Amino acid sequence: MNVLTFDTEEQIGIAAGYYMCGQVLQKPDSVLGLATGSTPIKAYKQMIELYKKGAVDFSQVTSFNLDEYVNLDVKDKNSYHAFMHDNLFDYINIPEENINFLNGNAEDLQLECKNYEKKIKACGGIDIQLLGIGSNGHIAFNEPADSFQRWSHVVELKESTIKDNSRFFNSIEEVPTRAVTMGIGSIMQAKRILIIAIGEHKAKAIKQLIDGNVTPKCPASVLQFHKDVTLMLDKGAASLI
């Protein structure tokens, strides 16, 4: 595991943005696995900057987002669909037809999850997966559990995640209680993984990810078994390692 610490969130954003763009420069038709949450926003800003400067071209890129809420209109500002358009897709040139999301409004969510996995495979797999981490160690929406869920699936969100994510909604009651998410197997199959964590509230999960027991009680800990993981941390997130 390659653990990099930075002084500021700005620096992490720049480094992570360059890291993602580096992948695209090296392989213009890269398949990017993308994440939501407040953590990757500055990385996306940097990717936009580099695109605007003409340093990188996303016209052959395909993207797969990690997760989406169930039963939330994609036009709702809190949908991950809207988030990605507002923070990245509207400002770079990934063709709309190459942008993929799990559809949390699909009639048959199980089938939707199966088809998503098939599509990732058909595109040759994810070249680089960007990840944040929940304060309880969740990745995407793989919540702490008794066993790892391998492929994309429907999940009941934990109280702590609903509480963490309620800051984006008008009230906690508005936060969806279910989501569709890539599984641990889907994430582990990515060729490279970049995780960003900012803030002391992530320190416990980061410590467990790096040197704790590998357990589904802290889903991120499974990343110890991946061969190419880079962590970009600020001092707060790195404070227990």
Can 67 be counted among the known catalytic residues? yes
Q: Choosing from 78, 87, 136, 142, which is the catalytic residue?
A: 136
Closest CA to 132 of 79, 187, 91: 187
Assess 67 for contact with ligand GLP (CB under 6 A).
yes
Helices 80-87, 41-52: axis angle to 10 degrees equals 40
The CB-of-195 to ligand GLP minimum distance in angstroms stands at 9
Assess 134 for contact with ligand GLP (CB under 6 A).
yes
**Between residue 167 and residue 186, which ones bind ligand GLP under the rule CB under 6 A?**
none
The CB-of-138 to ligand GLP minimum distance in angstroms stands at 6
Judge whether 138 and 195 are in contact, CB under 8 Å: no
Can 136 be counted among the known catalytic residues? yes
Which span sits near ligand GLP by CB under 6 A: 89-97, 104-112, 129-137, 146-154?
Answer: 129-137
Nearer to ligand GLP, 199 or 212 (CB): 199
Give the integer Cα–Cα distance in Å for 58 and 29: 8
Can 143 be counted among the known catalytic residues? yes
Which span sits near ligand GLP by CB under 6 A: 50-58, 99-107, 127-135, 184-192?
Answer: 127-135
The CB-of-84 to ligand GLP minimum distance in angstroms stands at 12
Assess 104 for contact with ligand GLP (CB under 6 A).
no
Judge whether 149 and 184 are in contact, CB under 8 Å: yes
Nearer to ligand GLP, 56 or 179 (CB): 179
- Residue 98: how many other CB atoms lie within 10 Å: 17
* AA identity, residue 238: A
Can 100 be counted among the known catalytic residues? no
Q: Choosing from 65, 67, 81, 117, which is the catalytic residue?
A: 67
Give the integer Cα–Cα distance in Å for 40 and 87: 9
Nearer to ligand GLP, 27 or 74 (CB): 74
**Between residue 138 and residue 167, which ones bind ligand GLP under the rule CB under 6 A?**
140-141, 161, 165
Give the integer Cα–Cα distance in Å for 238 and 233: 6
3-state secondary structure 44-107: HHHHHHHHHCCCCCCCCCEEEECEEECCCCCCCCCCHHHHHHHHCHHHCCCCHHHEECCCCCCC
Which residues contact ligand GLP (rule: CB under 6 A)? 35-39, 66-67, 132-134, 140-141, 161, 165
* Catalytic residue ranges: 67, 136, 138, 143
